């Protein structure tokens, strides 16, 4: 764990590179040819991530409730991603919380540097994932904070400027956590488990939650780099509030990269690796990445809902039988997330390495 105490090299803020008006990006950000985005040819207009109206999931009409549940289940199996509207989170709160993080990233560098992070917890202002010396880096900065459990929530580590930031994050986190609980219930029922099965298996009231505010600066050569390299999310589910004006998220579907078009006032939901493990791969996490833009920067907020860190996660016994044995070895979330903290985003390498030999 000592390797996680500090970064292997001085940290360079990508926003500073962008604002200095460079015409070419440093070699450290140039991806191998096989990983570079084909910005124009990879737009598949006929393929779109499902948009699901959750209004009927919370309503009393059983037929409409069932149809909404069916659509969630289908999206979890076919895509691992879906967008949700009428989700119960205030649109005004979404807008203000995203705006306050944009304001944070526009603060002077010396103010943001007060929150500079280390790889031991990633908490604070950062510009890289993984601790491999000489690694090829992503074109982004971020701010990472712990929201749950409450024992890990330390608002003194959250930005004091803008002054409304801490209050907005607390309110936003409360509403998004509620949405996460509702989605886990729907997924549990769809997997023919008790409605509180997933929530309880991940730790109940002791589940974890983190927020990462992402800043993707303008890039003079977006065809050579990525804002975030291909990966699947290590936790249970992720609720992403995208930038409404600039698309950037790409999802891997059938060997192609599909650019997600943000739906107005929607969240983008994706299945994490721990759901894949617990569902015994009935639901699967999906590779995704972020492209960058030469004309506009982007801000997005990723809310990660995660298992209690020291709980052993393994396939639900109800979903294991002779025809479909347990596909994954038991592992705590603490053990699991150590991989990405050390190696950074690496496609689906980690979840594949967990497969049982039985």
Calpha distance 185→29 (Å, rounded): 41
What is the dihedral angle through the alpha carbons of 292, 213, 256, 25, rounded to the nearest 10 degrees? 30
Q: Which pTM value belongs to this model?
A: 0.95
196-215: b (≥16 Cβ within 10 Å) or e: ebbbebbbeeebbbbbbbbb
State residue 290 phi and psi, 5-degree precision: -130, 130
Asked if residue 6 belongs to a domain, the reply is no
Decide: 321 and 289 in contact? Cβ < 8 Å: no
Calpha distance 38→310 (Å, rounded): 41
Decide: 356 and 329 in contact? Cβ < 8 Å: yes
First to last CA, the chain: 30
CB atoms closer than 10 angstroms to residue 287? 17
Structure tokens at 47: 């393929």
Asked if residue 8 belongs to a domain, the reply is no
Structure tokens at 271: 């299945």
CATH number of the domain to which 238 belongs? 2.60.120.330
Asked if residue 9 belongs to a domain, the reply is no
What are 148's strand-pairing partners?
209
Calpha distance 60→106 (Å, rounded): 45
In the chain, how many domains are there? 1
- Over its length of 358 residues, how does the chain's per-residue pLDDT go in tens digits? 456 679 999 999 999 999 999 999 999 999 999 999 976 645 555 578 999 999 998 788 999 999 999 999 999 999 999 999 999 999 999 999 999 999 999 999 999 999 999 998 899 999 999 889 999 999 999 999 999 999 999 999 999 999 999 999 999 999 999 999 999 999 999 999 999 999 999 999 999 999 999 999 999 999 999 999 999 999 999 999 999 999 999 999 988 999 999 999 999 999 999 999 999 999 999 999 999 999 999 999 999 999 999 999 999 999 999 999 999 999 999 888 877 767 666 767 667 766 766 5
Decide: 276 and 285 in contact? Cβ < 8 Å: yes
According to DSSP, residue 29 is labeled: G
Q: Which domain holds residue 68?
A: 25-34+46-354
Asked if residue 41 belongs to a domain, the reply is no
Asked if residue 103 belongs to a domain, the reply is yes
Give the pLDDT score at 269: 98
- Find where tokens 């699947």 sit: 232
Asked if residue 39 belongs to a domain, the reply is no
Give the pLDDT score at 3: 61
Asked if residue 208 belongs to a domain, the reply is yes
Asked if residue 299 belongs to a domain, the reply is yes
User: What order do you get walking across the sheet with 81-85 strand by strand?
Assistant: 51-53, 81-85, 267-271, 237-241, 298-306, 208-216, 141-148, 124-126
């Amino acid at each position: 764990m000592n390797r996680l105490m500090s970064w292997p090299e001085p940290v360079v803020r990508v926003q500073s590179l962008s604002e200095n008006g460079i015409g070419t990006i440093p070699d450290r950000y140039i991806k191998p040819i096989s990983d570079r985005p084909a910005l124009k040819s990879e737009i598949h207009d006929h393929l779109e991530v499902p948009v699901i109206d959750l209004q009927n999931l919370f309503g009393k009409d059983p037929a409409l409730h069932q149809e909404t549940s069916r659509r969630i289940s289908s999206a979890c199996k076919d895509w691992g991603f879906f967008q949700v509207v009428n989700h119960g989170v205030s649109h005004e709160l979404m807008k203000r919380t995203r705006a306050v993080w944009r304001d944070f990233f526009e603060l002077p560098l010396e103010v943001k540097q007060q929150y500079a992070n280390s790889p031991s917890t990633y908490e604070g202002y950062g510009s890289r994932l993984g601790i491999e010396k000489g690694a090829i880096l992503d074109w982004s900065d971020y701010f990472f904070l712990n929201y749950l459990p409450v024992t890990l929530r330390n608002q003194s580590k959250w930005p004091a400027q803008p002054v409304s930031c801490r209050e907005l994050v607390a309110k936003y986190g409360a509403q998004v956590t509620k949405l996460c609980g509702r989605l886990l219930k729907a997924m549990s029922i769809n997997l023919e488990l008790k409605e509180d099965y997933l929530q309880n298996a991940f730790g109940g009231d002791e589940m974890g939650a983190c927020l990462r505010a992402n800043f993707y600066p303008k890039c003079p050569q977006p065809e050579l780099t990525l804002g975030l390299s291909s990966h699947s999310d290590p936790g249970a589910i992720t609720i992403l509030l995208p930038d409404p004006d600039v698309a950037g998220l790409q999802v891997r579907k059938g060997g192609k990269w599909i650019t997600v078009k943000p739906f107005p006032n929607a969240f983008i939901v994706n299945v994490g690796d721990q759901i894949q493990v617990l569902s015994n791969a009935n639901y699967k996490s999906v590779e995704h990445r972020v492209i960058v833009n030469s004309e506009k920067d982007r801000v997005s907020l990723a809310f990660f809902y995660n298992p209690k860190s020291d709980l052993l996660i393994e396939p639900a016994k109800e979903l294991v039988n002779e025809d479909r044995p347990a596909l994954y070895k038991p592992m705590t979330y603490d053990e699991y997330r150590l991989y990405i903290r050390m190696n950074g985003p690496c496609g689906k390498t980690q979840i594949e390495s967990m497969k049982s030999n039985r």
